[in-house]
Structure 1
Amino acid sequence: MSVAYTERAETRSTAVAPAWLFVGAGIYLLLLIRGDGLLRDADTFWQIKVGQWIAAHHAVPFTDIYSFTRAGEPWISTSWLAQVLFAQAFDLGGWAGVVVLTAVAAAAALALLAHVLCRFLPPLQVGVVVCAVFALASPHLLARPHVLAMPVMIAWASGLVSVSGRGGAPSPWLLPLMIAWANLHGGFVFGLALIGAFALDAVWNAEAARRKRVVFGWALFGFAALGASCVTPYGWGTLLAARNILGLGEALSLIIEWRPVDFSHVSALEVCLLGLLGLALFRGVRLTPPRILLVLGLTQMALAHSRSIEVFAFLLPLVVAEPLSVQFSALRRTESRAISLSAARLAVVVFLLCGFTAAFAASRSYVPASGKSLTGAVQAMKDHGARRVLNEYFFGGLLIAADVPVFIDGRTELYGEQFVLAHADALQLRNVGKFLTLLDTYRIDATLLDPSSPAVHLLDRLDGWRRVYSDGDAVLHMRTANLASQIRPSLD
């Protein structure tokens, strides 16, 4: 079976060479036009701020310098390279630069996926798959480090799946991809896990006489990849930092992207899963046991954590495309006249895209929605001299960008499970006494909260606190006197 895969890949790779260009250009233009949607995550603010600090100091952070609750405690930035790229894009082109960088990365990932799939599937089927992948991944296409790492993830996974289908061992030329991934985003740990998964597939596809050699080749590559993942300013620290995220326990349920999928309403993931299940039942799809385990593993990840949906979307087609093209003749790539793509033609396309980008960005003002909504509240907070602010979790990024020390922000691994849970319980007033204790323990002199927070209504009626600013997005209270000891007994 693996020999047939190889032959198809070699005979069809040039027949549709320009397809990746059309996909990439189309996705890029769409994301550029809808650029504000890429800036809807408030964590983008602190990502840029960290990148600017790294560029200014020519060093990476080892301790926290942005909060007053964890100031000086150990913290490393596992996405330092992506943050520097975002900071440089912002310094060069403002928010338009950030949008362009994000759009380029996302378009490159989809273009690379299309290029790999075109080796096995007809253009029409590739187009359908790419559209489905884009629909699943679009909610997660944000100006954050994981998007810059997407093209690296696709290149890494396609390299592993290709060699595993032939029953061979990976090339060491893949290792630079792991180095880049480890410096761009903490998701590189998943890339290491893929080595074991595809190693099983390679052993299954290899001839019996070669299996020991294949096992040795993959084991050697695995150790080399592990070493490559430590080629960062933090060394082993980057790899060990993943434990902090995985050890957040119940606190992960408070973060939207870490919550399990909600099937109470129809979503793109539900439609795709049901469609794939129906197709498998109708056509009798057959995969090798290792690839079945891969499909099940990717599906479980997508169901357990919403942030894994784009991983499922990008990698599932890579896992099943080759065996399905062999099993079903209708999915086999038919020979067609190759459309040559010279360097000159490619340069013309790139030039036209750059020209459109410059013209469109000049006529469009990109501003994150959260940046607009909190401008008044942050200015009021500075005018009143607030220093120790109890803030909502999702306000942290903007406060860091405004040089305001935060109580909490999106760096959840810095604060830990108990702190994050205590913060959420306090703002929801699950225990009023603990909320008042929190205000005293951290000497809070101001609160910046969402208008719907139960704590807002308590502060409105609490002696010693005064509402000084409010709008539809945030409410600012300032402490006027320390009267907590007088009121706590009656509230308890």
Structure 2
Amino acid sequence: MWWALALLAIIATGVSLSLIPQEDFWWHMKIGEWIRANNSIPRTGLYSATRADAPMFYQSWGSEWLFAFFHDLGGLPLIALVRNLLLVATYGLLVWHTLRRTGMNGRATLVALLLAAAVAFDNWGVRPQTFSWLPFMLTFVIVSEVAVERWPRRALLALPLIEIVWVNLHGAFTLGPVLVGCAALGATLDRRRDHPEAPTYRTAQALWLALVGVVAAILVNPRGFGVITYVWSLLTDPSSQRLISEWVSPFNTLDNPVTQLFFLTLLIAVVMLVVVWQRLRSGDLLTFIAFTGLTLTGIRYQLWFGIVAGPIVAEALVRRGRLKLIKNTAQRGPWLGWVTLALALLAVLVQPPMRSLVRFPAFLRGAEGPLPNAELAVAATPVQAVDYLLQNPPPARLFHEMRYSSYLIWRAGERLPVFVDTRVELYPIEMWFEYKCIVAGRDWEPLLAKYAMTTVLADRTFEKELISALQQSGVWRERYSDKRTMIFERDPSAPPPAAGPATCPAEQAAKEEL
């Protein structure tokens, strides 16, 4: 058990060192501030210069409200601390549940936690999904414990309540019925095939009733059945599905080290389960198959796959019984306990309240500029550049790198509305093609003129071609520069760009991710 606890402490330290990403946090907090100020949920594309009146479904309104609340209460340090605590609670519950599954086998539990973390570490950023971790883990634990009758059936009464909270926090609420449905169907199948661990008829019946309750609980949200329509529209939205990397199949990102690690983990898990599949409960097999299938359609599901696959594979290893690595051995000396304690202490020392007291190496340092606790945000956050724009407002619309849009919305949404932003589904795919053409320095002048944009907030890393084109144009002047960001402004006395044939067809732009 100490090995698993030591790894949990390492995970706690690692997530505490990770910084707040810019893409999917700031704009959510801004919407949360709007919700708190207006006591209602917006329905349009607030803070967009091009789609302000377009309909927008803010399904994660609960997470947005919480971000704004925690920020008012304790700023970025409290938000980061809440993320860290939720992750530790989620994986701590995974460790506890796996120990119960494996008869307190610490090494098998270590394998479970290692598997779960290996495929998910790049999904630990601060975003609405953060508030999905614990509801998902709780749902999985409850149905797993009840299905083997370690917990009484009345524990299932918590599932609809969890789903009510979940549906107002994040779109992963759709996975709740999947977990309960797999457990219910698995219990029924185990009774049919006379599995030695098949639950009683009343337990199987209770699981089916719980599924009905969970599905009904989905409707307890401000838009009722509309949340189902929204999820379907998001899953079929061409802008999101074609252009956002986390929505694409891992088969399309085989050059990504995280994807390669996932397939390696999946291969190991499948081999382990094939050996003992007849001994496993049907519910576990169905859950593993369901989440494997989901993950093969989109890499954003890797986190959930790891959480369910870890305990299932660990139990399979123990059932196999002949793997020496997993057999319980004599208790180690006290050194492992002391190492675990030291790692836990390290995890405490790197928490946000103490982070400002420690000087980290350059690659672990965050942003700089006029933002309280800026060091907790990734270095790419355009804190200083946006502050310059607020002090020197552009004369017309602003073009900006998409990743900058989230912080722009939070810091200056009312004064500097965005061209496009990470609410990808808000914008038609044609606009995204135009955006990518501009970034690539193709047809950029007529496209900027089309949207009356005379100021460009460019990223040195992701917009090298555009920066080069601006510098060579002769009519765009550099107004600001730092180690990550540049701001250009068009000479107002320069003639409008000449119209010419298109050199950036949509078909070419469609081949690239945002």
TM-score by length of 1: 0.79
Q: In the superposition, relative to structure 1, how do residues 441 and 135 fare at CA in structure 2: closer, same or farther (>3 Å)?
A: same
SS in structure 1 at match of 2:399: strand
Q: Does 1:448 align with 2:457?
A: yes
Matching residue of 1:393: 402
SS in structure 2 at match of 1:232: coil
Structure 2, unpaired ranges of 5+: 332-343, 359-372, 504-514
Matching residue of 1:31: 15
Residue 457 of structure 1 deviates from its aligned partner by 2.6
Q: In the superposition, relative to structure 1, how do residues 20 and 62 fare at CA in structure 2: closer, same or farther (>3 Å)?
A: farther
**Alpha-carbon deviations, 1:136-184, whole Å to 9, x = none?**
2221111111122101101112222334456998823211111111111
Q: Does 1:295 align with 2:288?
A: yes
Matching residue of 2:70: 89
Alpha-carbon distance between aligned partners in 2 of 1:316 and 1:155, rounded to the nearest angstrom = 15
Alpha-carbon distance between aligned partners in 2 of 1:315 and 1:65, rounded to the nearest angstrom = 37
Matching residue of 1:204: 189
Q: Report how many residues are paired.
A: 456
SS in structure 2 at match of 1:199: helix
SS in structure 2 at match of 1:467: strand
Q: Does 1:412 align with 2:424?
A: yes
Matching residue of 2:468: 457
Residue 118 of structure 1 deviates from its aligned partner by 1.0
Alpha-carbon distance between aligned partners in 2 of 1:274 and 1:156, rounded to the nearest angstrom = 26
Matching residue of 2:370: none
**Alpha-carbon deviations, 1:459-482, whole Å to 9, x = none?**
333364333223442232223238
Matching residue of 2:161: 176
Cα RMSD of the aligned pairs, angstroms, is 3.8
Q: In the superposition, relative to structure 1, how do residues 483 and 202 fare at CA in structure 2: closer, same or farther (>3 Å)?
A: farther
Farther off after superposition, 300-309 or 102-111: 300-309
Alpha-carbon distance between aligned partners in 1 of 2:348 and 2:465, rounded to the nearest angstrom = 49
Q: In the superposition, relative to structure 1, how do residues 238 and 332 fare at CA in structure 2: closer, same or farther (>3 Å)?
A: farther
Q: Does 1:52 align with 2:39?
A: no
Q: Which residue among 245, 255, 266 is the counterpart of 1:264?
A: 255
Q: Which residue among 224, 230, 233 is the counterpart of 1:235?
A: 224
- The 8 Å contact of residues 63 and 75 in structure 1, kept in 2 or not, is answered as yes
- The 8 Å contact of residues 96 and 366 in structure 1, kept in 2 or not, is answered as no
Q: Which residue among 433, 445, 460 is the counterpart of 1:421?
A: 433
Farther off after superposition, 376-385 or 482-491: 482-491
Matching residue of 1:140: 123
Residue 44 of structure 1 deviates from its aligned partner by 1.7
Residue 250 of structure 1 deviates from its aligned partner by 5.7
Q: Which residue among 139, 147, 155 is the counterpart of 2:138?
A: 155
Alpha-carbon distance between aligned partners in 2 of 1:413 and 1:40, rounded to the nearest angstrom = 20
Residue 255 of structure 1 deviates from its aligned partner by 2.1
SS in structure 1 at match of 2:171: coil
Alpha-carbon distance between aligned partners in 1 of 2:307 and 2:475, rounded to the nearest angstrom = 54
Alpha-carbon distance between aligned partners in 2 of 1:254 and 1:157, rounded to the nearest angstrom = 31
SS in structure 2 at match of 1:475: strand
Matching residue of 2:354: 360
Alpha-carbon distance between aligned partners in 2 of 1:354 and 1:289, rounded to the nearest angstrom = 40
Q: Which amino acid aligns with 2:419?
A: F
Matching residue of 1:379: 387
Residue 273 of structure 1 deviates from its aligned partner by 2.6
Q: Does 1:273 align with 2:284?
A: no
**Alpha-carbon deviations, 1:69-120, whole Å to 9, x = none?**
1112222322222222222222233221121011001111101111111112
Q: Percent identity?
A: 23
SS in structure 1 at match of 2:101: coil
Matching residue of 2:244: 255
**Alpha-carbon deviations, 1:326-372, whole Å to 9, x = none?**
55487698999xxxxxxxxxxxxx99998995862462556245466
Alpha-carbon distance between aligned partners in 2 of 1:359 and 1:106, rounded to the nearest angstrom = 17
Farther off after superposition, 167-176 or 205-214: 205-214
- The 8 Å contact of residues 157 and 210 in structure 2, kept in 1 or not, is answered as yes
Matching residue of 2:100: 119
Q: Which amino acid aligns with 1:375?
A: V
SS in structure 1 at match of 2:457: strand
Alpha-carbon distance between aligned partners in 2 of 1:384 and 1:301, rounded to the nearest angstrom = 47
**Alpha-carbon deviations, 1:355-401, whole Å to 9, x = none?**
99586246255624546652332233334322521222111111112
Alpha-carbon distance between aligned partners in 1 of 2:355 and 2:347, rounded to the nearest angstrom = 12
SS in structure 1 at match of 2:499: helix
Alpha-carbon distance between aligned partners in 2 of 1:220 and 1:112, rounded to the nearest angstrom = 25
Q: In the superposition, relative to structure 1, how do residues 383 and 366 fare at CA in structure 2: closer, same or farther (>3 Å)?
A: closer
- The 8 Å contact of residues 446 and 498 in structure 2, kept in 1 or not, is answered as no
Matching residue of 1:67: 48
Structure 1, unpaired ranges of 5+: 1-15, 337-349
Q: In the superposition, relative to structure 1, how do residues 25 and 51 fare at CA in structure 2: closer, same or farther (>3 Å)?
A: farther
SS in structure 2 at match of 1:134: helix
Farther off after superposition, 164-173 or 369-378: 164-173
Alpha-carbon distance between aligned partners in 1 of 2:349 and 2:459, rounded to the nearest angstrom = 41
Q: Which amino acid aligns with 1:477?
A: F
- The 8 Å contact of residues 182 and 188 in structure 1, kept in 2 or not, is answered as yes
Q: In the superposition, relative to structure 1, how do residues 135 and 56 fare at CA in structure 2: closer, same or farther (>3 Å)?
A: same
Farther off after superposition, 260-269 or 163-172: 163-172
Matching residue of 1:13: none
- The 8 Å contact of residues 449 and 476 in structure 1, kept in 2 or not, is answered as yes
- The 8 Å contact of residues 20 and 111 in structure 1, kept in 2 or not, is answered as no
Matching residue of 2:477: 466
Q: In the superposition, relative to structure 1, how do residues 255 and 359 fare at CA in structure 2: closer, same or farther (>3 Å)?
A: closer
Q: In the superposition, relative to structure 1, how do residues 86 and 21 fare at CA in structure 2: closer, same or farther (>3 Å)?
A: farther
Q: Does 1:402 align with 2:401?
A: no
Alpha-carbon distance between aligned partners in 1 of 2:495 and 2:288, rounded to the nearest angstrom = 56
**Alpha-carbon deviations, 1:159-215, whole Å to 9, x = none?**
223344569988232111111111111111122233333332122013589999888
Alpha-carbon distance between aligned partners in 1 of 2:148 and 2:434, rounded to the nearest angstrom = 49
Alpha-carbon distance between aligned partners in 1 of 2:203 and 2:446, rounded to the nearest angstrom = 61
Alpha-carbon distance between aligned partners in 2 of 1:355 and 1:43, rounded to the nearest angstrom = 27
SS in structure 1 at match of 2:48: coil
Residue 290 of structure 1 deviates from its aligned partner by 5.9
Q: In the superposition, relative to structure 1, how do residues 30 and 352 fare at CA in structure 2: closer, same or farther (>3 Å)?
A: closer
Alpha-carbon distance between aligned partners in 2 of 1:418 and 1:333, rounded to the nearest angstrom = 59
Farther off after superposition, 259-268 or 172-181: 259-268
Q: Which residue among 166, 176, 180 is the counterpart of 1:195?
A: 180
Q: Which amino acid aligns with 2:255?
A: S
- The 8 Å contact of residues 56 and 426 in structure 2, kept in 1 or not, is answered as yes
Q: In the superposition, relative to structure 1, how do residues 219 and 38 fare at CA in structure 2: closer, same or farther (>3 Å)?
A: same
TM-score by length of 2: 0.76
Matches within 5 A, 1:481-492: 481=492, 487-489=498-500
Q: Which amino acid aligns with 2:310?
A: P
Q: In the superposition, relative to structure 1, how do residues 279 and 380 fare at CA in structure 2: closer, same or farther (>3 Å)?
A: same
- The 8 Å contact of residues 164 and 202 in structure 1, kept in 2 or not, is answered as yes
